[in-house]
Amino acid sequence: ETGVTQTPRHLVMGMTNKKSLKCEQHLGHNAMYWYKQSAKKPLELMFVYSLEERVENNSVPSRFSPECPNSSHLFLHLHTLQPEDSALYLCASSQETGGDYGYTFGSGTRLTVV
Partner 1 sequence: QKEVEQNSGPLSVPEGAIASLNCTYSDRGSQSFFWYRQYSGKSPELIMFIYSNGDKEDGRFTAQLNKASQYVSLLIRDSQPSDSATYLCAVNSFMDSNYQLIWGAGTKLIIKP
Binding site for partner 1 (CB under 8 A): 40-43, 45, 48, 50, 55-56, 90, 97-108, 110
Q: List the one residue out of 65, 79, 70, 66 whose CA is nearest residue 24.
A: 70
**Minimum CB distance to partner 1 smaller for 17 or for 45:** 45
**Minimum CB distance to partner 1 smaller for 18 or for 54:** 54
**Minimum CB distance to partner 1 smaller for 64 or for 103:** 103
Tell me how far, at minimum, the Cβ of 8 lies from partner 1, in Å.
Answer: 14
Tell me how far, at minimum, the Cβ of 100 lies from partner 1, in Å.
Answer: 6
Task: Tell me the C-alpha distance between 88 and 76, whole Å.
Answer: 13
Alpha-carbon distances of 77 from 61, 90, 112, rounded to whole Å: 12, 14, 15
Which neighbouring-strand residues pair with 74?
A: 23
